[in-house]
Amino acid sequence: MKRLRDPDNGCPWDVAQTFATIAPYTVEEAYEVADTIERGAYDELPDELGDLLFQVVFYAQMAAEEDWFDFADVVETICEKMRRRHPHVFADSGEQPDWEGHKRAEREQAGNSGVLAGIPTALPALTRAYKLGKRAASVGFDWPSLPGVRAKLAEETQELDAALQAGIKRDIEAEIGDVFFALTNLCRHVGVDPEQALRGCNRRFEGRFTGVEQSVAASELSWEQHTLDVLETYWQQAKQAEKFS
């Protein structure tokens, strides 16, 4: 990485990068790791993890050039954090695990005393909603059981219906957001990651729609020549075939 960043003999693209320009690639590489795991393509995982590690090395090199920190500092920082947050393992103190408690103490020490402080705004919206709900629940701001969460989702859906009937776009957008947030709380209560659930839905949609495309092609008719009812029949056929694949 140091050679790639060398101003005289390095790669012009690597030399031109900054923390801000690399950040989107880091997000992309993290998603590619997640996608590889979800597909069970573990033979591809070393390559994807290497790409993700490369991002860390890239940041560390840019920081070293500014005399901020280097790769060794990154490693030591995470090691120290793991030791601090796991005193029951490393300190032989008999203290019970309290990951959230340790993180809360760290936020307070850094001056971020708010319950919701420190949840990155750059997270995907569904993931951030999930984390906001989880953080609020850590201080008791939560439904005690699943029926309450489900009732809240029904309430938000009714409010969305009312907004749709009124036809005011600003209110419709707000109510759709409330439905999404209620769904993330439902996910949290049943132990489902909302991003993973939606990615799974996307994969199923792609697979089924590909089946519809194949049926349209086999019919030798154009899309325009198919009624919605016929396309729905193709969809159901693709959905049924999925169960036996």
Q: What is the pLDDT of residue 152?
A: 97
Which residue shows structure tokens 């309430």?
155
If DSSP codes are grouped into helix, strand and coil, which group holds residue 41? coil
* pLDDT per position as a tens digit, 178-196: 999 999 999 999 999 998 8
Q: For residues 238 and 245, what is the distance between their CA atoms, to the nearest angstrom?
A: 10
Going by the DSSP 8-state scheme, the letter that residue 225 receives in this structure is: G
Distance of CA 93 to the CA centre of its chain: 35
pLDDT tens track of the chain, all 245 residues?
Answer: 999 999 999 999 999 999 999 999 998 999 899 889 988 999 999 999 999 999 999 999 999 999 999 999 999 999 998 888 888 888 766 666 666 666 667 766 766 678 888 888 888 899 999 999 999 998 899 999 999 999 999 999 999 999 999 999 999 999 999 999 999 999 999 999 998 899 889 999 999 999 999 999 999 999 999 999 999 999 999 999 988 76
Q: For residues 228 and 230, what is the distance between their CA atoms, to the nearest angstrom?
A: 5
User: pTM of the predicted model, to two decimals?
Assistant: 0.68
Structure tokens that stand for 203 in this block: 């994969």
Which ranges of 86-193 does DSSP label H, i.e. alpha helix? 87-90, 99-109, 125-137, 146-166, 169-190
Give the count of beta carbons closer than 10 Å to the beta carbon of residue 91.
Answer: 11
Distance of CA 13 to the CA centre of its chain: 28
Residues 6+ apart with CB under 8 A from 38: 196, 199, 200
